[in-house]
Amino acid sequence: MTRLAQTSGLTDVQQEIVSTVRDFVDKEIIPVATGLEHRDEYPTEIVEGLKELGLFGLMIPEEYGGLGESLLTYALCVEEIARGWMSVSGIINTHFIVAYMLKQHGTQEQKDAFLPRMALGEVRGAFSMSEPGLGSDVSAITSKGVRDGEEYVLDGQKMWLTNGGTSTLVAVLCRSDEGHPEGTAPHKSMTTFLVEKEPGFGEVRPGLTIPGKIDKMGYKGVDTTELIMDGLRIPANRVLGGTTGRGFYQMMDGVEVGRVNVAARGCGVAQRAFELGVSYAQQRRTFGKPIAQHQAIQFKLAEMATKVEAAHAMMVNAARKKDSGERNDLEAGMAKYLASEYCKEVVEDAFRIHGGYGFSKEYEIERLYREAPMLLIGEGTAEIQKMIIGRRLLEEYRFQG
Ligand SMILES: Cc1cc2nc3c(=O)[nH]c(=O)nc-3n(C[C@H](O)[C@H](O)[C@H](O)COP(=O)(O)OP(=O)(O)OC[C@H]3O[C@@H](n4cnc5c(N)ncnc54)[C@H](O)[C@@H]3O)c2cc1C
């Protein structure tokens, strides 16, 4: 069952971490995932198990109590977790992005204040760029942070916060005009504010409301919410990195590693769909033989497995590029684009292999079928990935004539 999606050149430590996570997924996630998902129930016990495994601090440096692992190790763990249930990888992902942004851009005081508790999973991160009127076009953000003495006052409405209810630290991107006169380019007048809050719904601190969970077609269990700021007061030392005007770049840096993560999720879901399809195809008989013996079904399995392999290879390549300290926006964009498209296709093929039973909620593939589309949207749609890829290609292959 593990012939596909192997990764060469892993250290013993990496192999041990990934195989521990795989065991955890097989024993603790797969048996309960579909039931929890159908009930839209938060996987509290699974999250406690992930905390014990140290996964909330996987990439947080050891000096702050984390495991100090690479993006590749993290992505391989995410792939395993998404193979079990994509929503669980969503619970870790926004936490990981916020921890990464703090590690890369935070002041020393911010790192000391948050990273040790994030490594333990005591502080849990969410990040918030999107608003009701925009997702792809981040430069159009309207939420504002205005300086008032030693504080900033935040106003605006945010949309689509993964872990909006369960998180206790939200990185919120706002426009901040202080020091950036009118006419400053939009991406140079944005600031990331580190907003601490109580978990839950309603008014979670004065001026900050999390209205409730958005009801979604899939990706259930994990809470996705709006966030409303109405005169929310934030101390000036909670500007990420201590300087305003850098928020756009900080968020894009976070989203770039997030894209490798979404690619890894696509790989994991596609692997599970392949496993379900290849297993069902050998049990279901039509016209006197298992459907796996019909060439049309074998061809489907061949196509599915090839896509699983290709997506995994691109995801690993993008992660390794970042780990080597090189710019990886081209590779991350390609991996995210390909893995999410292939994931949708592999899931669809596994669904077709299941015939009518794929439509029944008793079969796991029904859940995967509703989960896969989220990957086409999160961390930038396919069109946005293609814009990034296209621009980078034109930089790399500039016409010299
Ligand atoms: C379940 C879920 C969880 C999410 N979690 C988070 C989160 O934690 N934090 C957060 O900040 N956001 C989050 N998002 C928001 C997500 O990042 C956005 O939905 C996504 O970026 C797309 O933005 P949009 O929905 O506004 O679509 P739009 O930007 O309105 O795009 C609509 C369509 O137009 C296309 N399009 C847009 N611009 C162009 C262009 N220039 N050229 C060609 N086509 C274009 C898009 O590809 C898309 O097909 C989440 C979304 C979902 C569904």
pLDDT of residue 187: 82
Q: How far is the CA of 239 from the centre of ligand 1 (A)?
A: 25
Q: How far is the CA of 252 from the centre of ligand 1 (A)?
A: 14
Ligand 1 mean position to 337 CA, how many Å? Answer: 14
Counting atoms of ligand 1 from 1, which one is nearest the CA of 137?
Answer: 29
Backbone torsions φ then ψ of 204, nearest 5 degrees? -90, -15
Alpha-carbon distance 198 to 129, whole Å? 20
Tens digits of per-residue pLDDT, 176-222?
Answer: 977 666 777 878 899 999 999 999 999 999 999 999 999 999 999 99
Residue 225: per-residue pLDDT = 98
CB atoms within 10 A of CB 295: 8
The rounded Å distance from CA 381 to ligand 1 centre is 6
Q: Whose CA is nearest to atom 38 of ligand 1?
A: 136
pLDDT in tens, 158-180: 999 999 999 999 999 999 977 66
In the predicted structure, residue 310 carries a pLDDT above the cut 80: yes
Please give the number of the atom of ligand 1 that sits closest to the Cα of 126. Answer: 8
Whether 285 has a pLDDT exceeding 70, the answer reads yes
Crossing angle of helices 86-105/44-53, nearest 10°? Answer: 50
Q: What is the pLDDT of residue 248?
A: 95
pLDDT over threshold 60, residue 1 = no
Averaged pLDDT for residues 116-137: 97
Q: Looking at residue 127, what is its pLDDT?
A: 96
For residues 42 and 221, the answer to whether their CB atoms sit within 8 Å is: yes
pLDDT tens digits for 85-113? 999 999 999 999 999 999 999 999 999 99
State how far the Cα of 360 lies from the Cα of 333, in Å rounded to an integer. Answer: 34
DSSP-derived secondary structure letter, 217: S
Pairing of strands 125-128, 202-205: unpaired
Across all residues in the chain, what is the average pLDDT? 96
Q: Indicate the DSSP class of residue 28.
A: I
pLDDT at 44 > cutoff 80: yes
Position 383 pLDDT exceeds 90: yes
In this prediction, residue 180 carries a pLDDT of 65
Of all protein residues, the one whose alpha carbon is nearest to atom 16 of ligand 1 is: 378
Q: What is the mean pLDDT of residues 350-378?
A: 97
Rounded (10°) angle between helices 86-105 and 108-119 = 150
Unique residue bearing structure tokens 């005081």: 109
Considering only CA atoms, which residue is closest to atom 29 of ligand 1? 136
Task: Calculate the CA 143 to chain-centre distance.
Answer: 23
Integer Cα distance of 115 and 119 in angstroms: 6
| Residues tagged active-site | 379
Write the residue with the smallest CA distance to atom 14 of ligand 1. Answer: 160
Specify the residue for token string 């593990």. Answer: 2
Query: What pLDDT shows up at residue 177?
Result: 76
The answer to whether residue 138 scores a pLDDT higher than 90 is: yes
**Which of 94, 170, 341, 381 to probe ligand 1 with, by most ligand atoms within 8 A of CB?**
381
Place of tokens 């504002």: 144
Q: Say how far apart CA 86 and CA 219 lie, in whole Å.
A: 7
Residues contacting 231, CB < 8 A, separation 6+? 153, 154, 155, 207
Which residues contact ligand 1 via a Cβ below 6 A? 94, 127-130, 134-137, 160-162, 216, 219, 224, 374, 377-378, 380-381, 383-384
Retrieve residue 188's tokens: 């140079």
Percent of the chain with pLDDT over 90: 94
Tell me what pLDDT residue 188 has.
85
Q: How far is the CA of 262 from the centre of ligand 1 (A)?
A: 14
pLDDT in tens, 331-351: 999 999 999 999 999 999 999
Close Cβ partners of 312 (under 8 Å, ≥ 6 residues apart) = 4, 5, 7, 79, 267
